[in-house]
Each structure stands twice: as structure tokens, then as C-alpha cells.
């Protein structure tokens, strides 16, 4: 079978900017930060901020929750809701998946620390009687695609990927390869993350990856701004329906190229150079054909500058003409779900010929002079590069082309 072109036919966002395609589309193009004080841990560990989803209830998306594995993790519930929303967006009924060659591929950075911490606390209080056997099944990331399979009543091939903050994009890239090669005819794929627990929030703050203050929370994340300090950890998910070009359903964008690479020692974000070139080679395009860039841009002083250096190496003087945006100041960084949400924002941006704002970008930094705007702007872009970077020096890039 010849290699097939792959398109996105359904989008299921579960984000602080909005849940469902319509709400997310409205929220992500507003110049608004959804980062707020996060008080769920109490006062014992000091102040936290996050872009969190305060009103999430799985019962709004799933009529019969008895089909869910008992005590499913929050990131699993996000993914289940995202899968249901993506199928609704693609106008696919669950019964239509029965007997069809399917795959479910998800990416998540962290296991369910909420469930793990609960069983640890219970054992400390009650001894061996406090051990919660179900955590063996619910806290690992493989439970995420398994739960989607169970809810949909199908026996799709499942895969769970963990590659730091690149997990969601790698899941989409892996699933797209399955569809392109004809191994499956439809795939549900994306990323999900719910890290807003005592652990790992206190460790992430200790590592300088989320701020130690809750003062002016909506201004704390400032991608590529001269006065940026660090990023903000958040939560969320986005699941996609992807299919071959021959599908009768209308597509948002084609997943044309994907690549991944690691940083060299002492070259932060340097692997984005190789990952972006591999993605462009996979898409059979040249750098001159890139019309917009969805930057990783977490608002971290060193990571932002490293990403600019990588893009400057790839595009040279042409970089100043390419419009760039980062959505991190709006929704924070939901770790492995972040790149999947970037893909959703990019697909919607291509359809509407508009680029989301880089919220809080106000004072240009000479160390990373991207072509940015803190307002949504009309940009007709049919070919977009999406960058992701994660701990351990991992990087992934993807090319979307407008359908």
C-alpha cells in the first residue's frame, strides 16, 4: 500500500481556555491569561499559581460513568472527555468504530501522583491495610488509552508514550505514522496531563520551573519578554481524530511532517534544529515554505532564548519575517499535553487565517527577537512549524498544512 496523507478531522480540547472546540477556539484567540492562584494544596507548601480547570466534571461528557475504570486518574478523565469531544467534532458515532481498524495513542509526562500520594499517605496512617490496590492499575500512563478503549467499547491498538513535555506531540506523530502506512484507518491521539498535586508541584517549583509567588498571577508567564523569569505549570488535554485523506470527513489540517531529536551537551534547545529539519524533510518542504511558527516558548529565560537560537540557525535572516506565537502565557504549560494543545490552536488558526496572541509579551528581548504580537492577528498561513522541548533534552517538531 502506498503511503497515505493524514488529516485531522476532529479536535477535543480540555483546557483552561475552554473545553470543546468552540469554547477553546474563542478562548485561545483572546489576549487573556487563564493563570490564577492555586490554593488546593493549602498554605503548608507556600504559594502556587496554575492554569487549572476548576469546573471539569466527566459526567458532562459521559452519560454512563460506570464504564470508567474505578478511581480513574484526573489525566485519564481529561483524555476520555477529549476523545468523546473529538469524535463529536468529527461527527463520528461510537458504533461506527466497531469493526474498524483503530488505534488509540496518548502521551503523558507524569504518572498519577494524586493517586500515588493517596496510597502512600494511607499506608503511613493505617499500615499495610491502607494500601490501595487499584493504584497499580490507575496511576500508570498506559491506563489512559486503555480507558478510552473501554469507554468506546472497541479493541483498538493502544500505546502510551512518555517523552517528557514532548509526549503529546510524539503520540500524534506515532499515530499519524500508523495511519499513513495503512496499519489503521482511524486513530485517536494526543496528550493529557494533570500534575497539580503536592508532588510534583513542589519539586517543579524547587527546580525553578514554576514560580514561587502568586502575586499578579496573570502576568507571571511572559514568553520571549525581556522581563520573563520562568514558566507556569498547568493541566489539560487535547485528543484528535486523524484519518487518511480519502476519508469523506472534512479535515482541519494535514499532518505533513514530524521529527524528533535530542540536545547536544550544553546546547539547550539545540535539538530543535535537527527536529525541525527532520520534520520539514518528512513533509518534503524547504524552510522558505514555512509561513508561521508555533513556538514552545514557556516563558523561561533560558529555554526561550535557546529556542530562538535554534530557529535562527534554521531560518537565518528570514526568521524576522515569519510570524511566531506562544500560547503558554494563556494556558501555562500542561507538560505532555502542551504540544497537543498547540496542534489544536494551530489547526484552528490555519482554518481561520489568524494567529493566536503571545499574551504578556510587552518588552521585546534582544536575545530572542521573534516576530511576535500580544494580540491575535490576521495571518494566512498554510504551512506551520510547531516546536516542543522537554527535560532530558528532548525535542519534537511537526508540520501542519491547511486542508
pLDDT tens digits, 258-270: 999 999 999 999 9
Length of the chain in terms of residues written: 403
Which domain range does residue 180 map to?
6-244
Q: Has residue 46 got a pLDDT over 70?
A: yes
Q: Does any domain span residue 140?
A: yes
Mean pLDDT of the chain: 96
Q: What is the 3-state secondary structure (H, E, C) of 139-184?
A: CCCCHHHHHHHHHHCCCCEEEEECECECHHHHHHHHHHHHHHCCCC
In this prediction, residue 1 carries a pLDDT of: 59
CATH of residue 27:
3.40.47.10
Q: Report if residue 296 sits inside a domain.
A: yes
pTM over 0.75: yes
Model confidence at 15, pLDDT cuts 50, 70, 90, reads very high
- Stretch 108-118: mean pLDDT, rounded? 89
Buried b (16+ CB within 10 A) or exposed e, 386-401: bbbbbeebbbbbbbbb
For residue 207, with 0-12 CB atoms within 10 Å meaning exposed, 13-18 middle and 19 or more buried, which class applies? exposed
Taking phi over 0 as left and psi of -120 to 50 as alpha, with beta for the rest, 139 belongs to alpha
For the stretch 297-353, pLDDT in tens is: 999 999 999 999 999 999 999 999 999 999 999 999 999 999 999 999 999 999 999
Residue at which a domain ends, from 244, 272, 299: 244
DSSP element (H, E) containing 38:
none
Between 134 and 309, name the one with better pLDDT.
Answer: 309
Instruction: Identify the residue whose cell numbers are 469554547.
Output: 23
207 and 328 within one domain: no
The whole-number pLDDT of residue 130 equals 82
Which residue's entry shows cell 508555533? 294
Q: Are residues 236 and 296 in the same domain?
A: no
Residue closest to 396 by CA, chosen among 234, 223, 232, 273: 273
- Tell me which H or E stretch contains 255: strand 253-262
- Band of pLDDT at residue 70, cut at 50, 70 and 90: confident
Instruction: Measure the CA dihedral 397/97/244/101, to 10°.
Output: 90
Task: Count how many domains the chain has.
Answer: 2
Q: Are residues 25 and 95 in the same domain?
A: yes
Whether residue 209 sits in one domain with residue 96: yes
Cα dihedral angle (295, 300, 305, 308), rounded to 10 degrees? 0
Judge whether 369 lies within some domain: yes
Amino acid at each position: 500500500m502506498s503511503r497515505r496523507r493524514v488529516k485531522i478531522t476532529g479536535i477535543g480540547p480540555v483546557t483552561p481556555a475552554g473545553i470543546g472546540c468552540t469554547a477553546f477556539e474563542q478562548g485561545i484567540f483572546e489576549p487573556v491569561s487563564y493563570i490564577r492562584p492555586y490554593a488546593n494544596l493549602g498554605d503548608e507548601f507556600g504559594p502556587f499559581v496554575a492554569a487549572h480547570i476548576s469546573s471539569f466534571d466527566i459526567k458532562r461528557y459521559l452519560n454512563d460513568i460506570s464504564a470508567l475504570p474505578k478511581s480513574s486518574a484526573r489525566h485519564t478523565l481529561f483524555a476520555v472527555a477529549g476523545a468523546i469531544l473529538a469524535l463529536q467534532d468529527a461527527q463520528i458515532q461510537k458504533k461506527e468504530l466497531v469493526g474498524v481498524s483503530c488505534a488509540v495513542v496518548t502521551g503523558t509526562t507524569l504518572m498519577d501522583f494524586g493517586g500515588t500520594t493517596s496510597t502512600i499517605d494511607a499506608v503511613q496512617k493505617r499500615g499495610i491495610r491502607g494500601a490501595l490496590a487499584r493504584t497499580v492499575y490507575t496511576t500508570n500512563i498506559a491506563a489512559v488509552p486503555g480507558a478510552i478503549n473501554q469507554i468506546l467499547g472497541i479493541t483498538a491498538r493502544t500505546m502510551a508514550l512518555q517523552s517528557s513535555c514532548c509526549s503529546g506531540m510524539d503520540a500524534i506523530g506515532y499515530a499519524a505514522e500508523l495511519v499513513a502506512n495503512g496499519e489503521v484507518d482511524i486513530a485517536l491521539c494526543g496528550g493529557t496531563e494533570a500534575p497539580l498535586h503536592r508532588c510534583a508541584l513542589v519539586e517543579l517549583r524547587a527546580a525553578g520551573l514554576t514560580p514561587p509567588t502568586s502575586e499578579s498571577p496573570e502576568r507571571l508567564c511572559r514568553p520571549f519578554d525581556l522581563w520573563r523569569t520562568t514558566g507556569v505549570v498547568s493541566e489539560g488535554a487535547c485528543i484528535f481524530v486523524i484519518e487518511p485523506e480519502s476519508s469523506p470527513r472534512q479535515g482541519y489540517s494535514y499532518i505533513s511532517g514530524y521529527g524528533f531529536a535530542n540536545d547536544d551537551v550544553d546546547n539547550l534547545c539545540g535539538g530543535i534544529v535537527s527536529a525541525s529539519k527532520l520534520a520539514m524533510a518528512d513533509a518534503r518542504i524547504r524552510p522558505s515554505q514555512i509561513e508561521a511558527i508555533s513556538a514552545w516558548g514557556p516563558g523561561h529565560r533560558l529555554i526561550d532564548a535557546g529556542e530562538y537560537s535554534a530557529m535562527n540557525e534554521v531560518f537565518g535572516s528570514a526568521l524576522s519575517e515569519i510570524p511566531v506565537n506562544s500560547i503558554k502565557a494563556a494556558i501555562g504549560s500542561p507538560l505532555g499535553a502542551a504540544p497537543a494543545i498547540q496542534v489544536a490552536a494551530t489547526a484552528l488558526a490555519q482554518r481561520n487565517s489568524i494567529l493566536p496572541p503571545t499574551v504578556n509579551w510587552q518588552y521585546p528581548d534582544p536575545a530572542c527577537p521573534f516576530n511576535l504580537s500580544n494580540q491575535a492577528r490576521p495571518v494566512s498561513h498554510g504551512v506551520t512549524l510547531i516546536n516542543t522541548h522537554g527535560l532530558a533534552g528532548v525535542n519534537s517538531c511537526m508540520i501542519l498544512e491547511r486542508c
